[in-house]
Structure 1
Amino acid sequence: MEINLKGKRVLITSSTKGIGKELAKVFLKEGCKVVITSRNKQNVNLALEELRQISSNDVFGLTSDLTDYNSLSKLVNDTINLLGGIDVLVVNSGNTPKEPSTMLENSIEDWEHATRLFLLGPVYLSTLVSKYMIEQKWGRIIFISSWTIKEPQDFFSLADVTRASLIQFTKLLARELGKYGITVNVLLLGSFPTETSIKTLHKIAQKLGMHFDELWNKYVIDVSAVKRVGNVEKDLGPLVIYLSSEYSSYVTGSYFLIDGGTTRAI
């Protein structure tokens, strides 16, 4: 099976670092035109410098905030102006500044911010983009989420609660958009080491009074069936490329666990 995504126009949110940036590399290597985003202009410029080593003419950067609806509207308009359309939308998000935190440590303001970041922002953005995809009778929408919405973890209370509803949204949006050749899916990721995730784990280790290495082995490596962490290019990238292709036209309204067998939930 040969997948050809050359020329596909891809928008990836929160993509100047970590998983988002690594996915941008995957798409660029497939010959796609890619727009990356961050709230921070300096992060955008640094990421562009790196990504242009792969493809100097096919990657663009914009500042945007998933919690700001006006910012998202501008992002869509600017991306359309840059690329002429959007074929693939990958909705990735950063972390809330409060986490790691337990339920009783969260204020109502923390919940409001998390809901905008993990649910309302993605809902609003995908609704905007879907209008353009309907016109072109083709599109792929992929939400990046976490295995922990299947098995909620104490210190990820904000993300786990607010992200869980995204699966229901995906199911409903997929049913509405299917007749237009648009698919909508969610990826539930396991442990893919990034600068941010490592910092979060250090904070959790401190809260629990554990050495980082002890926490890493007990809560990251040992709970995985394959006893290792994930690699975006090898473990996640191929699935994202498949879901972005013509071959996935019958795959929609679904969620996929890419967690090395970590979750035991059905």
Structure 2
Amino acid sequence: MMFEGSKNAKQHYLTYMERAGANMREGGVNGTTSFDRTNYFETVPREALEYVLWLESDRMGYLTDVLTQEKLDNQRDVVKNERRQSYENVPYGRAFQMIFENLFPKGHPYSWLVIGSQEDLNAASTEDVKEFFKTYYTPNNCSLVIAGDFETEEAKRLVEKYFAPFDPGPPLERPRLWIPKLDGEKRISVLDRVPQERLYLIWPSPAYFYSGDAELDLASRILSQGKNSRLYKTLVYDKQIASDVSAFNYSLEISGAFGVVATARPSQRLDEIERVIDEEIERFALTGDVG
């Protein structure tokens, strides 16, 4: 909805970015969403700073004034299509939806995909969007970052000029640390039309900046970064039972997930790949040997 125009800038947002001389080809104007935040950004010449601050302030203050059912339907279709392309109609696309549904308990904010379900998207109304916007897209829940070639005092003056008139939104309670504790091992097997079988091993892990987070970042790199890494060398090069393998530490604000993902070579068994991964992780944990 943030690109569909606001009260004093009624055209599509990218139209104004083109006028401002924004870098449109290198990803310089966009928005992204994750479990913990949504951000919007633009890369423009320094002369356009005031112009884009005015545009951003108009989106914050007056976007819902011109929200219509037509605009909602248009953006709903965009997001539904993105969901199909990213999760529903792509090999292995359903994997992380099922992983997070089973790793995090019901009600945990990480237990569903950020993009939502088709049912959620179909059910959203203009009133839902307005209420959400007035609750979360507010000055007291927003961080504004200006980076580049600008005069600090002038930038502060412009921010004050365009954003100071807005009242804060309702007070928001920050989510509390919620790292799941599993009662036991969970195993999920899914049949799908994919070129090769794939194994996912996932564990709950600390939130970012908490004890153990940095160590797991380092461990994931030692285990799988580069062709000489522990898992790649053993699974892909030496034993040749996997075509690729990766490890990651996905730390978020209130919890995280540490995982190893391996794609089996044709005719190779996932249980054998799992056994080798377990052995390598155990050896690394016991000895700290990185070679």
TM-score scaled by length of structure 1: 0.27
| Higher helix content, 1 or 2 | 1
Select the structure of larger CA radius of gyration.
Answer: 2
TM-score scaled by length of structure 2: 0.25
Higher relative contact order (CA 8 A, sep 6+): 1
